[in-house]
Amino acid sequence: MKHFQIFWAFFKVGILGYGGGPSSIPLVHKEVVDHYKWMDDDEFSDILAIGNTLPGPIATKMAGYIGYRVSGWLGVLNAVISTILPSIIAMIFLLVSLRTFSELPWVTGMTHAIVPVVGVMLAILTWDFVKKGHKDLGWKFNVGLIVVSTILLQFLNIHPAIIIIILLIIAFTTTPKEKATEEEEVK
């Protein structure tokens, strides 16, 4: 019975949590704290805080932990699968529908119109990152990283994961030195 409760609780979150993690969190809270009483508000707040510090979608992280807490490793599988199952079903349905109607002019126009919109959204996001990066790294270092990353990606065909690892190493090794230099200048 407990596995059915886990499945149903997180399946509802997966269906109704339109908009990603922020819209799913109150639904998870309602099911886990209010309805099934698997934990109290303080425990839920702790899980939410820890989940926000880890990479990846918050709804699946919370589902995994809560599933484990309620019913062990089978609870993890049950909760995570029930959280992502509605999205999987919706994606299959939408892709089949898109494929079926892909030759219609309005569908073709819609799919072509999405590309520039996504491009602009990514450009705005990139610009926000550049503005935030200049505060910690300075404009010269920031622009230098952008140029080197672009050359590595576009012209040398280096895999993005390798570049991310290199940039993380640079970030971990250069940031403390720059902060120490700034502190010395203030004195």
Domain boundary assignment for the chain = 2-101, 105-186
**Residue 65: per-residue pLDDT:** 92
| Between 135 and 140, residue with greater pLDDT | 140
Residue 160 banded pLDDT, cuts 50, 70, 90: confident
**Residue 98: per-residue pLDDT:** 79
Mean pLDDT of 78-82: 93
Q: What is the pTM of this model?
A: 0.55
* Cβ-count burial 24-61 (b if 16+ within 10 Å, e if not): bbebbbebbbeebebbeeeebeebbeebeeeeeebbbb
Question: Mean pLDDT over all residues of the chain?
Answer: 83
Mean pLDDT of 93-118: 83
Asked whether residue 73 carries a pLDDT value surpassing 90, the answer given is: yes
Residue 177 banded pLDDT, cuts 50, 70, 90: very low
